[in-house]
Structure 1
Amino acid sequence: MATVILVRHGRTTANASGLLAGRTPGVSLDQTGRDQAAVTGDRLAAVPLVGVVSSPLERCRQTAQLILDRQQGAPHAPIEADLNECDYGSWQNRTLADLAKDELWPVVQSQPSAVTFPGGESMAAMQARSVAAIRRHDAAFEAEHGPGAVWAAVSHGDIIKSVLADALGMHLDLFQRITVGPASVSIVHYGKGRPTVFATNTDAGDLSWLAASTAPGDAPVGGGAGHTAPPAQ
């Protein structure tokens, strides 16, 4: 299969003020978020992406555009509704400090598989639709471009955490152990036998090795020799 780079959107005005924006329209990147996304775009410039798939929300589309601006050619750039933010229902537009007093908060922290947000969706449904979307696009890019294809999916913190939990074989109740920061990069390859997680929550480092990567086979016993970046042109 192909390799997907999971990118969280950069920091927003809501993130900076401690507000759970959810699916509220018009929440955009602040200057810090734009700078973060530009750095991520620069990191990915060394990787010829075959596609950049984005959540429909503005903050993700802005982040995706900053990645696309640094790519040569014209990668496929669809919007994917199933990578949208979790529907937090009545939790949306409340501060995190206020939500921490809600009786549902400790359940979100320790047993997210049992959580359905009031007036919104369950966290289990959120994971199911986001994982299905990632795997669907991954298979399509691999079918069109071959097993060496690399693409990016720009989405939200809880969405990416749930995708990583699935790839790591973790129960959803453990997904709060994963951190996904603004504009961070995580990398997953869906192999024939199992996914391989190359990185989680990185905000620096060379990614040019992905431009010359080949589909991994069995896991190397002892860890192997690691990745080799392509020679400088």
Structure 2
Amino acid sequence: MPVIVLLRHGVSSANTAGILAGRAPGVSLTDQGVSALRNTLRMLPQQRFSRLLHSPLLRCEQTALIAASTIAADSVAAVDDLIELDYGEWTGRSLKELGGEELWKTVLERASQAHFPGGESIAEAADRAVSRVRTVVDELRTEERNEEEQRNRSGDDHEGKASRWAMLVSHGDIIKAIIADALGMPLDDFQRISVAPGSFTVIDFSGPQPVLTAMSVTAAGLSEGSTPGGGGLR
């Protein structure tokens, strides 16, 4: 009964400045971002996690450390597959300015065809992130089976099945791509999804198909941004 919680990093200095941070170093959480994140983490439906994986970028590392102080995680590790898109020459530019680029329309309407100059494509980023989620789900299922077999051998009559949860801390577009895949949506439609900074999303992988049970949950609600669900490349 694996369940994945996707946690977007809290509000960062780039979020408040309207900058596309990408993989630029030194982008950290704001004080407001830290406070809002702590409040949101109290709303999690689960407090015990088999693992806590995060993007190696500073803002996700900070978010993961805050999460680790709130939940119980058997292991914590940085994972390159969860890193932000490599926006190449777009890195560090203002979103307002980027809105005038010819590529912007492709990013919004045909994401699967978008490749950032000097960086990677949205499809490449989606593939690596989705592949990591599938690997984690397979690992959790194996752990559940092993635990169940051990219970059977020991004669433990504990009712119910073992359930494993994992938390993945990443970035807006990466999380949106994972959600789109879970819902069976074409990548070209992933801009219809929005996840707020510091929000969590829950996907249940216990059945034959993934089930999205919660998305972009924050304690602060719309106060974290001017649009429902937060932001992204819009």
TM-score by length of 2: 0.83
CA distance in 2, matches of 1:46, 1:143: 20
1:164 partnered with 2:163: no
8 A Cα contact 2:49 2:165, kept in partner: yes
CA distance in 1, matches of 2:34, 2:91: 23
Q: Secondary structure of 2:42's match?
A: helix
Question: Which residue identity lines up with residue 133 of structure 2 in the other structure?
Answer: I
Alpha-carbon RMSD across the aligned residues, in angstroms, is 1.7
TM-score by length of 1: 0.83
Unaligned 5+ runs, structure 2:
146-161, 221-234
Q: Secondary structure of 1:104's match?
A: helix
8 A Cα contact 2:36 2:219, kept in partner: no
Aligned to 2:87: 88
8 A Cα contact 1:183 1:203, kept in partner: yes
Deviations 1:63-105 (A, max 9, x none): 1111110124x52111110000001010001000110011101
1:145 offset after TM fit, Å?
4.4
Aligned to 2:113: 114
Aligned to 2:71: 71
Aligned to 1:173: 188
CA distance in 2, matches of 1:38, 1:192: 31
Unaligned 5+ runs, structure 1:
206-233
1:148 partnered with 2:163: yes
Structure 1 consecutive aligned stretches of length 4 or more whose deviation exceeds 6 Å: none
Question: Which residue identity lines up with residue 104 of structure 2 in the other structure?
Answer: W
Question: Identical aligned pairs, as a percentage?
Answer: 40
Q: Which moved more, 1:33-42 or 1:156-165?
A: 33-42
8 A Cα contact 1:44 1:67, kept in partner: no
How many aligned residue pairs are there?
A: 204
Aligned to 1:7: 7
1:154 offset after TM fit, Å?
0.4
8 A Cα contact 1:36 1:182, kept in partner: no
How do 1:11-90 and structure 2 match up within 5 A?
Answer: 11-44=11-44, 46-72=46-72, 74-90=73-89
1:46 offset after TM fit, Å?
4.9
